[in-house]
Structure formats: structure tokens, C-alpha cells
A and B are shown apart, each in its own frame.
Chain A
Amino acid sequence: MNKPMLGLVLGGALGALDGLSALASAPEVKPHIMGIVVGSMGKGLVAGILTGVVARKVNNLAIGIAVGIVIAALLALPFALAADPATGKRYFWEIMIPGSIVGLIVGYATQKFGQPVPQRS
């Protein structure tokens, strides 16, 4: 699988799982879980493809990981800063840390397991 595609698939899947994990970490958000999962998955898809595109251009594991973390953290930031409309509570670190780790995983995986696009002659 090429790097952008791997980033897309992995980012989407991990994003969805990350959203679902809110059921365990904050059960009071259960009524909004569908929106959380869709939002998290969308965030994961965008982060994944961006990380994959960068991984295709820059073949460097450390840079790939850093880019994955930064993109995922930037995309998670608005969600982390927003307060839960029902409870008014913020879940800054609960969103930022796992979201950044997901970015780290996607950044690592796209560099490590993604196939480079063949060079055109």
C-alpha cells in the first residue's frame, strides 16, 4: 500500500477507534458518540492523508513521526479547546495526548510500512 493510502486507512481506522474510546473514558458523552466518532474519524482521515503525502515526499522516519504528531495535534486542538455543550466540561489532555499518539503511530507506520511511489523515468 502506498504511503498516502496507508495514512488514509490507518488514520481513519485509528481515528474512529479513538472516538469510540470516549465511551470508556467519558461515558457521559454517550448521547453524542456518533458525532464524536465521525468527527474523530474525519480528523484521522485528514491527518492520515496529510502525513502520508509528507511521508511520500520526505523519506525520513523522524520527520515522518514529527509531522504525524504535529498534524494530529493541530487537528485535535479545536476539539480539545471546545467545551462539552452538555456538561460545559473540557477534555483537553484526554483529547490531545491520545490524538497525538495516534498521529505518532500514523507517522511511524506510513514511513515504516508504506510503499514508496515508483519514480517515473
Chain B
Amino acid sequence: MTLPEDALAHLQRVLQTAEPPGDRYTLQEPVGQGGMGTVYRAFDRALGRDVAIKVLRGDVADAEAAVRLEREARILARLEHPGIVPVHDVGVLADGRVFYVMKLVRGRRLQEFARSASRSDVLRVVLRVCETVGFAHAHGVVHRDLKPSNIMVGAFGEVLVLDWGIARVVGIGRAAAGDGAGNGPPPPPVGGLTSVTSAGDAATGPAPDPVTAPGTVLGTPGFMAPEQAQGQPGLADARTDVYGLGAILRAVVAGEPGGQSAPRPLAAIWARALSADPTARYPSAADLGADITRFLDAQPVTAYREPFHERAGRVFRKYETAIILVLTYLAVRLLFLAMRGF
């Protein structure tokens, strides 16, 4: 027996519907779509507020994807930070698909923001992303899919790192995994994230990346580190995200790879972050952020040894007004001296 076309279409629509069970959430329109899930705007009747619900897409709703989405929710719940969207709830739809409820964020994606913002404003946003990613690293989480479309800039200056769907939980020692009482772990040693190889090592947090087998390539071309592109998920650590941050920096500052118009120190910063050899990159997102801060403060950056004339130019630009004032003073003195001569 074959179903008529309209009946099939209706069934497909029903399948794509992601109404959560119960009557707490009223699903509204979709507001975004990722590799695994669709994000809907929804209304939380219990608390009288808008929320976002991420639901596993019907066409990828296999066991692996379900595990990933659930892990994403747990990772997000673990990472309490102003730069990470808070998760309110997690559950399973009537058809078995996993969903989670999070804060509804409004804003522009980084690439859109960068089109109308000044370079220093864009750099400050990237700096905030470095801080957020550094926080995740300190809690044993590597994002692995950092790109401009995963960064949201809110109307009030909020900077949020989105889509932790392929994030990897790595070990930073049992103490660093948190004490279960909401107290965060101490910052890890530089580059100190190491892969967890057994679930027991991460008993206090989400399971350690049980779904990424060697040879699996996860990430976005142009933004994923070579070790990711080669399908070596076990090698992913903080420096993998440093590569992604460098790629973001290059993309939003220079627009296109190469970045000919960018200042050399800035280009050197992303060049170091984008080194094919992980050991040549900045050891952590914090170190990358520190170099961006130095650039913003017109200080020398560690990634670039500047020649004398560039250093002189940088110092002049930094103290331009003060130097002009002193020169004015000297000019006045010389003027009086010259007037005495006449």
C-alpha cells in the first residue's frame, strides 16, 4: 500500500515537529540550525519567559547523535560562564529525540558584527571569546568547532560561544574536574589538557568523548586544526582551539585568508595561532588573548619581533599627543630664542 503524497508530506511535517512532552514549553518558530540539531524559540509557561530549545534533527537522529546532543547539554550545564549559554532543562521527545532547553540569546553572528564594527571592537570580542574558551579549557573541555558563525554578539555587548556539539572532554586531573559542589577547578597548567582515555577518569563530568573514533573528521574546513582534519581526535587539546581562535581572528580582521591589509603584529598573532605544529602555537587561549591585549594596548606582541622603525612608529602613535605637546613646548622655546637673535 502506498500513501498519497500529501499524507506523506503531513507525516514528514509531524516527524519534524519537536513539541516537547507535557505542557510547559510552547514551541514557536525555528531560529537556527546546526549540524545535529534545530534550535526553536519557545515559551516557558512555568516561568513566563522565552527560551530556546535545541532538538535533534530528524534526519540525523541516530544513537550517536543523541549521545552527542545530551553530552552537549551536560557540558554546557557544567560550564557556568557569562560567555556560555546556560542550560535550563534536558529531556526526550515523544519520538525519542533528545532536546535541551537553554536561554534564548539574541544578537548578531561575529562575521556580521565584524562588517560594521571597528577593528579594535572586533578584537575585543575575540578577546572575550579567548577568555570563554580559556574557561572551558580550565574545566577540561575543548570546543573543537570554533568559527565566526558560532560566536554571537548581543545588543548589550554580550559575547557568547555557541554550539558545543562536538566539544571534547579531556582530563586535567581529578581535582581540576570540579568537586561537585559548584566550585570550579583551578586553571590548568599551560597546555596542560590531556586526553581522557577512560570514562572513569572523568567520573565527575560528562563521559569522555565516547563517540569520536580515530579517523573521524569533525569540525569546519578552514577553522579546524590539522590534527582534527587528519582525523586524530585523540590529539585535540587546548591548542586545537587556539588554532580555531586564530582562524576566527584572521577571518574577522582580514576578511579573507592572507590578510594583507592587517598590521604585521596582528597578522603574526594569527600566524602563530595557526601553526600546523601544535607546539608552535600559543600554549593556551589565555596566551593568545594576552598577545591580542598587547596589540590593543600598542605594546610589542610576543609573536612578532618588530624592526626599529616600526617600534618607533608604534611608540609615537601610542604617545602621539604627549609627544606633540613636548615638541610644541620645545618649539616655543626655540621661537623665543630666535626672537632674541633678531
Contacts and interface: CB of A to CB of B under 8 A. Distances in A.
Interface of A: 21, 24-26, 93-94, 97-98, 101-102, 104-105, 108-109, 112-113
9 A-B pairs with least C-beta separation: A101-B329, A105-B325, A25-B336, A94-B336, A25-B337, A21-B333, A97-B332, A98-B332, A24-B337
B321 interface: yes
Contact of A105 (B326, B333, B336, B337): B326
Nearest to B331: A101
A109 B322 contact: yes
Interface size class of B (residues with CB under 8 A): 10 to 19
Contact of B322 (A94, A98, A102, A112): A112
A24 B333 contact: yes
Given A101-B329, A109-B322, 12 more contacts: A24-B337, A25-B333, A25-B337, A25-B340, A26-B340, A101-B332, A102-B329, A105-B325, A108-B321, A108-B322, A112-B322, A113-B322
Contacts of B328: 101
Interface of B: 321-322, 325-326, 328-329, 332-333, 336-337, 340
A97 B332 CA distance: 8
Contacts of B325: 101, 104-105, 108
Contacts of B340: 25-26
A13 B298 CA distance: 26
* Dominant SS among interface residues on chain B: helix
A108 B321 CA distance: 9
Contacts of A109: 322
B321 A112 contact: yes
21 contacts: A21-B333, A24-B333, A25-B333, A25-B340, A26-B340, A93-B336, A94-B336, A97-B332, A97-B336, A98-B332, A98-B336, A101-B325, A101-B328, A101-B329, A101-B332, A102-B329, A105-B329, A108-B321, A108-B322, A112-B321, A113-B322
A70 B332 CA distance: 18
A98 B321 contact: no
B144 to A, nearest CB: 40
Contacts of A105: 322, 325-326, 329
A98 B329 contact: yes
A40 B322 CA distance: 21
Contacts of B326: 105
A97 B328 CA distance: 11
B55 to A, nearest CB: 46
Contacts of A98: 329, 332-333, 336
A7 to B, nearest CB: 14
Contacts of B336: 25, 93-94, 97-98
Nearest to A98: B332
B337 to A, nearest CB: 5
A112 B325 CA distance: 13
Nearest to A97: B332
B68 to A, nearest CB: 46
B201 to A, nearest CB: 42
A109 B337 CA distance: 27
A94 B333 CA distance: 8
A22 to B, nearest CB: 10
Contacts of B337: 24-25
B298 to A, nearest CB: 13
A79 to B, nearest CB: 15
A81 B252 CA distance: 60
A101 B333 CA distance: 11
